[in-house]
Structure 1
Amino acid sequence: MTAEAPLSASVTLYLRTGAPMAARDRQGNARARVEALADEGLLPDLDMEEWPSKAIVPNDGPTDPAVETYDEFADVVAERSDVHLDPFFEDRPGVGRSDRVVVLPVACIAVRREGTLTGLYPCWNGGNHEAVEDGLAALESGEDVENLR
């Protein structure tokens, strides 16, 4: 770690429940890295949340909080022509009793400043794949992690 000052934005690490064994190592690595940053006082506003592999929006029921989070991401990205969530997130029509199905990545980092999404990993940004590991490296080095500003 070379970061010297605490990040003045909030960071949420999302991890998919029931991830395949190969992905669990990646998730554990991401968790350990953000926890180390928090322990050093560099991430004073860190949250870790679990989300399902697929979030379903039923025809007659409440929206899954994971879908609300995805919709937040999609709304911010829609304002920019150079940022895309595919193939990391998939939003497709539902079948039968569901309106929509949102497929979520194994791991995701969201950075919010004053409640506004300003950083997201993974995504395609300006033609470049910005992986969760890129976000972790930026957090550790103290580089700008807010790739959506």
Structure 2
Amino acid sequence: MSSRPPSLPLALGLALIAAAPAPAQDTTATEGLVLELNRISEGGDGTCQMVFFGQNNLPDSLAEITLRLAVIDANGVFQNMLALPLGALDTGKRRFAQYNLPLACADISEIVVNDVATCKIAGSAEDSGACLSGLTVSSRTDIALGL
């Protein structure tokens, strides 16, 4: 048997696979409700523009969902409470929501989902606990998103 080095096309192919970016997080595999802090950018007026991504992977459509978020500064001190309405979300539906916060992004260390203000399953007048119990959070930014 001869010991030949791998062919150039094979070596280039393996190098391209290794250099390829990781695939985006598959939010459809997560059951429940998904919330992601997707993007942040500094506003010209000293505000932090935040873009949140939400997806309903619950078995039921939501007539209305609003999350209550707490903003924590760089020193770990509570700064602000905000409501993030995502509206109606059918099963499998995805939605982006933008929020301008009156703080510089660099002054924020974490956003905490403090509570679910409203979680109404379609066809029901009562609030459901399914939104909070099935909530998964993540962040693609330097600001942490937690429960």
TM range (shorter): under 0.3
Q: Which has the higher helix share?
A: 1
Q: Which has the larger radius of gyration?
A: 2
